[in-house]
Structure 1
Amino acid sequence: MLLGIVLVALNLRIAIAAVSPILDIVRRDVAFDDTLAGLLGAAPLVSFAVFGSLAPLVARRWGLEPTLVAAMLLSGAGEVARSTTEAPAAFIAWSVVALGGMGMGNVLLPPLVKRYFPDRIGAVTAAYSMTMAFSTTTPPLLSVPLARAFGWRVSVGSWSALAVVAVLPWCVVLARRAAARRRGLDADRRPRASSVPAARAGGGAGRAWRSPLAWGLAVTFGMNSLNTYALFAWLPQILTDAGLAVEAGGRWVGLLAILGLPLSFAGPLLAARMRNPWPLVALLAACYVSGYLGLALSPVPGTAVWIVLLGLAQGVFPVVLALINLRTRTAEGATALSGFVQGVGYAVAVPGPVLVGVVHEATGSWTPALAVLLVTVGVLAVASTVACRPAVLEDTWAPRPAR
């Protein structure tokens, strides 16, 4: 099942990464105005928040694997549909569909790791989070050549093939499970989350939002996502306003994305070996602080140093993904925690890029905008003290009131 998890992870950022480099080409053909382009820019975070929150509800009814298959098919259908549309509003709507499937996949992968690899959480989380980072950096390298050779519609729609490939291993799992049921057997010998007795689930009837641990993880995740998306949105302009060429700003953003790869692999492995990984998160938060101070005080002479620090700081993301499983006892708990953390976290991150832009426009300087980001890093550091405590969700959430 490792192949199935990695293939799904490969799909979870494509709807964003494959379109950004060719957005100007798309805008000329589909006649986007600036308002619609802004809506498209906000669509990933909003879609991840909304559909991520819905994923646990659907999974509770359908099961993890069927919900994942549906999510990937939804994503692929959205990719194909938006590549054929002529209307800008329809392009955004189908983009939301594609992003929604990916948002559900974001939430479902941690509990699937918990179910199939409970004794290798760090290693498997490292594998799939690194794949997600790879899927962020690779499509931009291919989208422009594809668009030049075959047109933007082929460039956008062709990525749907990966969604189809990603569902194949899970279809095999479901087919084997159905055949086993017909024979009265359990094919994979693994308990379904719904079959775990409530007593063993450690409060399986609880609500994640009642848990301080869940809130700590959600705020940590949200503050990190806010910083990540704000950086990708504004770093090129920050560097351009500091005197660098436009092309150089783009290259530094590319480096920022690439630097996420090593920590995507190392972060979960380190977190799994530490009883309380707060020192690791604090170190990554310090990288954010140093990078922002550097951009504010000396953006050009030390550009390489600041970008490296900010790239390493993105390691908070895979650490939180690992903690979703390390801080739960069951796949049921991991599903609830993953949906809560990512749903709340992405919702918290939505206003981040806009807020940075508003502060810059109001003050005419990037220093106050960077100060806002420094405050969010402080919130991240405080919230992570709760998120990293050696506790288990099922022991911290309150039971639902009796009906």
Structure 2
Amino acid sequence: MPPDPSATTSTGVHLAIGVILLALNLRPALVAVSPMLDAIRTDTGMSATTAGLLTTLPLLCFGLLSPLAPRMGRRFGMEPALLGAMVLVCGGTALRLLPSMVALLGGTVIVGAGIAVANVLLPGVIKRDFPSRVGLMTGLYSMSLFGGAALAAGITVPLGDAIGLSWRPTLALWGVLGLVALAVWLPQTRRHSRVSAAEASGAAHPVRGMWRHPVAWLVTAFMGLQSLTYYAATAWLPTIFTDAGMAQGTAGWMLSFSSLLGIAGAFLAPVLAARLGRPGAVAAFGALLIICGFAGMATAPVGGAYLWMAMLGLGQGASISLSMLFIVQRAPDTRHAAQLSSMAQTFGYLLAATGPLALGAVHELTGAWTVPLIVLMVVLVPQGLAGLGAARDRHAAPAQRGDSVTGG
């Protein structure tokens, strides 16, 4: 096992900053669409179902392209593959500047492809380079995901209004954050090489039987269900509030406020899980918080908006952080972490991709948001149960490889 740079050298600090900046770019290009959705629909004339497709396409990319990410990491090296992923994010963001529906959808697919690769490989980097700081780095990584989402949700509309930009260049502005991450991550491609020949060939720890392993499927279920509820809510929350009479700017701020609380939830969940020794209980409590938030939105969306968004943010932050922590902890080594991450995100995001489309379709069918919110509350029950199962201290690997060994 390589030495833990986080504890001994400045290299670990630089690497940690690079991981955080990459993570900051894994949500803004997607989340920024949500507060702009009304403007996009007005300008393009797209239906609510088509608008749901705009937010679903990246999730489909996450699911369909995740199996390729471990191969890219082994073939080109983890760091160059992550650099390429960020190039795709920046390129896709720029493509959406072109005034056509094809460019909008195509750029969204390219952004989704880049994020898909980074989603899978970054947990492996944490597993490999921060073995004694897994909880801390997972918390920082998850905080960065929510931090990027909070920025995108909260300042996209005000920033565009302040500069006087239409929705296309406003969305493209988030490519600047990607360029910063590219510049910071570039030195990592020189500092680190490909994985060892033994590891790449599978001679060290062959990944066998994971697709039949019950722990791997519990991790996958938890990842998928929390992603489904998160992306479905993120796609439609501003619209739910505006339909209830809230101003568009305020509705966007509500999503941002939720994401800000998500930062706290993302950082606190791994810490509490480690301190209490009961990550399953933390996962179940996170699901309960989200249920309470959705229930409040269904009954008094505007009057108690801040309370509902606080519950939602804390619960969602805890859930996403724990889903990443389970991937790292349930894997005995870097290759298993990448493979488990690929499996969880392949099936997890394909499941999550149904969320925005389904929520939009149910809304069109019922003409209100009460039934869609009840559906999300029902989904959170198996999410909590999957979290209890995924939290058990076992490895998603064949028994002879040490299933009972502590998961880190």
Could you say whether these structures have the same fold, taking a TM-score greater than 0.5 normalized by the shorter chain as the test? Answer: yes
| 1:264 lines up with 2:266 in the alignment | yes
Segment drifting more, 274-283 vs 260-269: 274-283
Which residue number corresponds to residue 324 of structure 2?
321
Which residue number corresponds to residue 232 of structure 1?
234
1:353 is paired with a residue whose SS is: helix
2:397 is paired with a residue whose SS is: helix
Root-mean-square deviation over aligned CA pairs: 3.0
> Following the alignment from structure 1 to structure 2, what is the Cα–Cα distance between the partners of residues 246 and 196?
50
Match of 2:117 among 97, 104, 123: 104
Match of 1:174 among 189, 206, 209: 189
Q: How does 1:340-351 map to 2 (within 5 A)?
A: 340-351=343-354
Which residue number corresponds to residue 381 of structure 1?
384
Shift of 1:368: 3.1
Which residue number corresponds to residue 130 of structure 1?
143
1:272–1:334 Cα change, 3 Å: farther
Shift of 1:41: 2.4
1:290–1:82 Cα change, 3 Å: closer
Shift of 1:103: 1.9
Q: How does 1:87-236 map to 2 (within 5 A)?
A: 87-144=100-157, 146-148=159-161, 149=163, 151-152=165-166, 154-177=169-192, 192=196, 194-195=198-199, 201=205, 204-236=206-238
| 1:41 lines up with 2:55 in the alignment | yes
Q: TM-score, normalised by structure 2?
A: 0.83
1:379 is paired with a residue whose SS is: helix
Q: TM-score, normalised by structure 1?
A: 0.84
> Following the alignment from structure 2 to structure 1, what is the Cα–Cα distance between the partners of residues 217 and 148?
28
- Size of the aligned set, in residue pairs, is 383
Give the counterpart letter for 2:397 in structure 1: E
Match of 2:70 among 37, 50, 56: 56
Structure showing greater Rg: 1
User: Would you say the 8 A contact 1:287–1:309 is kept in 2?
Assistant: yes
1:301–1:26 Cα change, 3 Å: closer
User: Would you say the 8 A contact 1:193–1:330 is kept in 2?
Assistant: no
| Structure 1: gaps of 5 or more residues | 182-190, 399-403
1:273–1:64 Cα change, 3 Å: farther
Which residue number corresponds to residue 359 of structure 2?
356
Shift of 1:282: 1.1
> Following the alignment from structure 1 to structure 2, what is the Cα–Cα distance between the partners of residues 120 and 3?
14
Segment drifting more, 295-304 vs 47-56: 295-304
Which residue number corresponds to residue 12 of structure 2?
none
User: Would you say the 8 A contact 2:157–2:252 is kept in 1?
Assistant: no
| 1:75 lines up with 2:107 in the alignment | no
Give the counterpart letter for 1:348 in structure 2: L
Shift of 1:4: 1.3
Give the counterpart letter for 2:99 in structure 1: E
1:392 is paired with a residue whose SS is: coil
User: Would you say the 8 A contact 1:68–1:105 is kept in 2?
Assistant: yes
| Structure 2: gaps of 5 or more residues | 1-14, 402-408
